[in-house]
Amino acid sequence: MAKETLRSTVTKDAPLASHPVTDSRPIFPKENYKYMLAGIVVIVLGFFLMMGGNSNDPNAFKPEEVYSFRRITLAPIVIVLGLLIEVYAIMARPKTKE
């Protein structure tokens, strides 16, 4: 009996919407997307700084190439800066007009 009551309530009292309500505005303002793009570029730059160390002889190991300042220190700092830019781009509120 409870099922019949529920069905009659849904079909009679609350008809289904024919078109779902959607919001066509973008999630972030245009300025935030620019910051996001800049953050991605900085992150990719950090990964490019980490690349390298190609050797013609696979049996030779050159620690000065693998453990260089650029790969061990600079590249991770650049990547973290890129991630911080991404966090700022997501968290920044749009400027309001007064």
- The model's pLDDT over 39-95, given as tens digits with 9 standing for 90+, comes to 999 999 999 999 977 778 878 888 888 888 999 999 999 999 999 999 999 998 877
Q: What is the pLDDT of residue 75?
A: 96
| Among the ranges given (18-22, 31-35, 60-64, 83-87), the one the predictor scored with the smallest mean pLDDT | 18-22
The SS3 of residue 95 is: coil
Q: What is the pLDDT of residue 92?
A: 86
pTM, to two decimals? 0.69
Q: How far apart are CA 23 and CA 18, in angstroms?
A: 16
